[in-house]
Amino acid sequence: MAYELFWISGSHYAWRVMLALEYKGIPYVSHHLNPSRGEHKSPTYLALNPRGKVPTLRDGETVVTESLAIMAYLESASPRMPLFGRTPAETGLIWQRISEFTSYTQGPIEQGIVFPYKEGGSVMDLERSRAAAAVALRQLAWMEQALSRTAFLAGDEVTAADMVALPTMGMLAQLGRRPRAQEIGLGFEQFSHSLPSIAAWMQRAEQIPGYDAAYPPSWRA
């Protein structure tokens, strides 16, 4: 029985899982939910995921929610094309990079940059957002340093660490191309110039097997 993936276009959490599925070559049935119609809040979906969030993976009678949990499930079920390392040292570094990103970098990007673009805000909100964006830029320094030494976040091969960080960074780049980026003035519009190793990593990531298939359709011009 094929896996079933429930997702929303533009969700960086769903994009993580889609990258993993596509990279590993795992067939799955796609359930593309439309949030404007409230499909992620329908009784049928809430029976699978009571929080009404995406992604959700169904494997027969087994239902897994939360992107990292799903990626770990897929790794255990299909170890070919490993994403979490082949040795204890590799696995430790991959999880370290995931923790560094989710604990210190992702929050300031989402709270300080992504959400203000999506929701707008008062002057006070924007001032707080600018402060958060400055924190985000500082937190990107560790990524820049790591990627100046290796092609990917945990070495010279793509791993789960890249698939965790890439969607958030892709969202940042996508939002930075909008006119509102200049209006808000959060100071990250030219991050590719100030963080060249990250910019080069994002270009390399476009060559990851399955990248194009997993790319959010709502982001395509």
List all residues 6 or more positions away from 153 whose beta carbon is below 8 Å from its beta carbon: 97, 101, 143, 146, 147, 159, 161, 162, 165, 201
Residues 98 and 171 both lie in one domain: yes
Whether residue 110 sits in one domain with residue 64: no
Q: Are residues 17 and 49 in the same domain?
A: yes
Q: Which domain holds residue 200?
A: 88-214
Q: Which CATH number do you get for residue 210?
A: 1.20.1050.10
Q: Looking at the structure, do residues 71 and 110 belong to the same domain, yes or no?
A: no
Domain boundary among 26, 57, 77: 77
CA–CA distance, 204 with 13 (Å, rounded to integer): 20
Instruction: Yes or no: say if 101 and 109 are a contact pair by the CB < 8 Å rule.
Output: no
Residue type (1 letter), 193: H
Cα(86)–Cα(57) distance, integer angstroms = 25
Q: Cis check for the bond before 55: say yes or no (omega within 30 of 0).
A: yes
Same domain, 113 and 204: yes
| The Cα angle at residue 133 between residues 83 and 107, in degrees rounded to 5 | 40
Q: 135 and 194: one domain?
A: yes
What does pTM read for this prediction?
Answer: 0.91
Task: Note whether 150 and 201 are same-domain residues.
Answer: yes
Residue 195 lies in a domain: yes
Q: What is the pLDDT of residue 123?
A: 47
Q: Is 12 helix (H, G, I), strand (E, B) or coil?
A: helix
Parallel/antiparallel/unpaired status of strands 62-65 and 28-32: unpaired
Q: Tell me the mean pLDDT per 10 residues along the chain, length 221.
A: 92 96 97 95 97 98 98 97 98 98 91 69 61 83 96 97 95 74 62 83 93 86 59
* Burial class of residue 121 in the structure, from the number of CB atoms within 10 Å of its CB (0-12 exposed, 13-18 middle, 19+ buried): middle
Q: Is residue 83 part of a domain?
A: no
DSSP-assigned letter for residue 53? -
Same-domain check for residues 56 and 17 = yes
The answer to whether residues 133 and 188 touch, using CB atoms and an 8 Å cutoff, is: yes
Whole-number pLDDT of residue 46: 98
184 lies in a domain?
Answer: yes
pLDDT for 88 equals 98
CATH of the domain at 46: 3.40.30.10
Query: Would the CA dihedral through 15, 49, 109, 112 be positive or negative?
Result: positive
Domain boundary among 27, 54, 77: 77
The residues that bridge with 62 in the sheet, in sequence order, are 59
Instruction: Identify whether 108 is part of a domain.
Output: yes
Same domain, 194 and 103: yes
The verdict on residue 42 lying in a domain is: yes
Looking at 52, 77, 102, the residue that finishes a domain is: 77
Q: Is residue 68 part of a domain?
A: yes
Assigned domain for 208 exists: yes
Assigned domain for 220 exists = no
Q: Are residues 60 and 106 in the same domain?
A: no
Domains contained in the chain, number = 2
72 and 117 part of one domain: no
